[in-house]
Structure 1
Amino acid sequence: MHRRAALAGLLCLSPALHAGLPELIASAKPAVVLVGTYAETDSPRFTFRGTGFVVNEGRSIVTNAHVLPDPSSLASERRVVVQLWRGPGRWEMREVQNQALARVHDLVLLALQGAPAPVSLRLAGESLMREGAEVALMGFPIGGVLGFAHVTHRGVVASVTGIVLPQASAQTLSPAAVRQLREGSFDIYQLDAVAYPGNSGGPLFDVATGEVIGVVNMVLTKGTRESALSAPTGITYALPIRHVHALLRQPPP
């Protein structure tokens, strides 16, 4: 009974609630979160690292694995947290714990500590989207340089193409990653949409239904990381949502 009561107030975004992009943006904001680290001794105390979004009836957060710091680099007083949006200029910090990891697909599922988040995004099925489909991505480009505010960019699925994601270092090459490299690439969405550093880990929406169809992963740059800000290519990559479904099916650690 207690679990039913706790979940009764959750809002799961669905096609029935979706009436257009402005409505989708307004309803999705509470489920798109800041991901970072927190320590009393840091200045600022919260350090932004990327975007995430709420799934699993408010109990879990999806983001890119590369958004999280290397555990060996975390001091004992620093911990990974998310910030839930509670209205303009209002954020609620919550601790998270690793729930499931797919290093090969650069995805991680984080268990939200405490009560479930009040809004959870609805995931699309596991079929790939057709090229030409209208999409929108939401996140926090450029981090907190201009203050933390949700930003939405619109575009289309330009291509469904094969890719093997680069590994950060030889130390991250797990047996599963080595098998993936040997077996070849997996499908990823190439988008005709602008994203920037800070968008990593954010949701990619099907504009027609309001469902999440992917996770923003990386941006094609012309040269340095700074060029993504001064001269964006307008080419962004997103991981299909089928890989998030696979994470959700993993047994708890």
Structure 2
Amino acid sequence: MDETRLSRRGLLAAASAGFAGAVAGCTEPRADNSIEGNSSHGIDRDNLADGSTYTDVYEGIIDSVTQIRAFGVDDPVTGEEGRGQGSGFVIDDSHVVTNQHVVAGAEDVDLQYINGDWSSTRLVGTDYYSDLAVLDADHVPDAATPLSLDDERPVVGQQVVAIGNPYGLEGSMSAGIVSGVERTLSPPGRQFSFSDVVQTDAAVNPGNSGGPLVDLDGDVVGVVNATSGENIGFAVSATLASRVVPSLIADGTYEHPYMGIGLRTVDRLVAEANDLSAATGVIVTDVFAGEAAAAAGLRGSDETVERRGEPIPVGGDVILALDGAPIPDRHALSTFLALETSPDDTITVDYWRDGSEQSTTLTLGSRPEV
């Protein structure tokens, strides 16, 4: 753990002693009359109330959170060129982390820090499959110390805050808890799922995307990504970001492991249709030619039957474990691959076929480029 992280943890831990109780996409290009908040750096901080633990977290983090302006993006409704907006945070002495979709297609990307400073940037790398991107900033204020990606996985009930710029309202903070972990999120318009997603009830809205979701020690537990309903938000986990971001800085890209299968969680209907004794595991619905699963001899479903008006796959292998780790559902499979494996790794697959448990080895490939 580096000295920056220790100092931030020390400051915030002292403030939180004895404390008890207490995913948003980027905005579309905006018209001139849309909401835009005033910078909070003009506040007279010598004449404020004492605040709370949350105030101390905010003060320890806010200098490192940026507002992102992406110029030259296309309006998804009109198709006209405009401006997008999101959030980001400083990860080292020159790099800023945000979401890939915040900067996708932009001709220029500028940052504004809470002290009012502006900076131009260069795009270092993006990863479509985790929706992460890294920018190289021409200017980082001295007060914008790097934030740390938490090396401990969050737990349900843990207190967190989201800091960013919803609807362009600079320097906003919302508080909540981690309300779910190891989620698999299927974003609109993308033919894949994000792995190891953190769910929170902290309010996040358009413009929060790319900003940090932090714990009360000031460590980043997730990169805010999206929201799909009221009182629920999502963030790409710090655990996954800690694998992706260094690769983006070093190489500009990140390769995700790939089995080359379609799958579905085994629920009661799938178990009954396939004569399984328990509703656990994932059934292979498709095996893609030329990919890792095909080379390993895994078998996909050869038919479907209808149960309660729903097509149910029949006949595919049911994956029970990977390298000895139980795989009760598709979330567990996705998380295991994302956090425990890399392309070219060889793993053991335990599966159920034709009334008996079997095993094979599989050498992982790389997810196809978009």
TM-score (norm 2): 0.49
Q: What corresponds to 1:158 in structure 2?
A: 179
Unaligned runs of 5+ in 2: 16-52, 73-81, 253-370
Q: 1:63 to 1:191 in 2, by over 3 A?
A: same
Q: How far, CA to CA, are the matches of 2:194 and 2:83 in structure 1?
A: 33
Match of 2:164 in 1: 139
Q: Partner residue of 2:170?
A: 149
CA contact (8 A) 1:109 1:247 kept: no
**Which of the numbers 222, 225, 237 marks the counterpart of 1:217?**
225
C-alpha distance in 1, partners of 2:225/2:159? 18
How far did residue 126 of structure 1 move? Answer: 3.3
Whole-Å separation in 2 of the counterparts to 1:198 and 1:101? 19
Supply the AA of the counterpart residue of 2:126.
Answer: L
Shift of 1:124: 3.7
Q: Does structure 1 conserve the Cα–Cα contact (< 8 Å) formed by 2:212 and 2:220?
A: yes
Q: Which residue does the alignment assign to 1:36?
A: 69
Counterpart secondary structure, 2:129: helix
Structure 2 partner of 1:178? none
SS in 2 for 1:125: coil
For residues 116 and 245 of structure 1, do their structure 2 counterparts lie closer, same or farther at Cα, with a shift above 3 Å needed?
farther
Shift of 1:248: 3.5
More contact order relative to length (CA 8 Å, sep ≥ 6)? 1
Q: For 1:185 and 1:203, how far apart are their aligned partners in 2?
A: 17
Aligned-pair identity in percent equals: 24
CA distance in structure 2 between the aligned counterparts of 1:203 and 1:249, rounded to whole angstroms = 17
Asked if 1:15 corresponds to 2:9, the answer is yes
Indicate the residue corresponding to 1:109 in structure 2: 134
Report the CA distance between 1:98 and its aligned residue. 1.5
Question: Which of residues 166, 184, 195 in structure 1 aligns to 2:204?
Answer: 195
Structure-2 change in CA distance of 1:136 and 1:113 (3 Å):
same
Question: Secondary structure of the residue that 1:14 maps to in structure 2?
Answer: helix
Residues 19-58 of structure 1 deviation map (CA, whole Å, 9 limit, x = unaligned): 232111112111111101358xxxxxx94510111111x3
Larger radius of gyration: 2
Output the amino acid matched with 1:30: D
Give 3-state SS (helix, strand or coil) of 2:121's partner.
strand
Structure 1 Cα separation of the partners of residues 104 and 125 of structure 2: 16
Note if contact 1:59-1:116 (Cα within 8 Å) is conserved in structure 2: no
> Gapped runs of 5+ residues in structure 1?
1-9, 40-45, 174-180, 222-232
Find the counterpart in structure 1 of residue 111 from structure 2: 82
Structure 2 vs 1, CA of residues 115 and 216 (structure 1 numbering), >3 Å: closer, same or farther?
closer
CA distance in 2, matches of 1:32, 1:17: 18
DSSP-derived class of the 1:142 partner: helix
Number of residue equivalences: 199
Deviation at 1:155, TM superposition (A): 0.5
Could you tell me the TM-score, scaled by structure 1's length? 0.70
Q: Residue 243 of structure 1 aligns with which residue?
A: 240
Aligned counterparts of 2:185 and 2:88: Cα–Cα separation in 1 = 22
Q: CA 1:185–1:70 in 2, change beyond 3 Å: closer, same or farther?
A: closer
SS at the partner of 2:61? helix
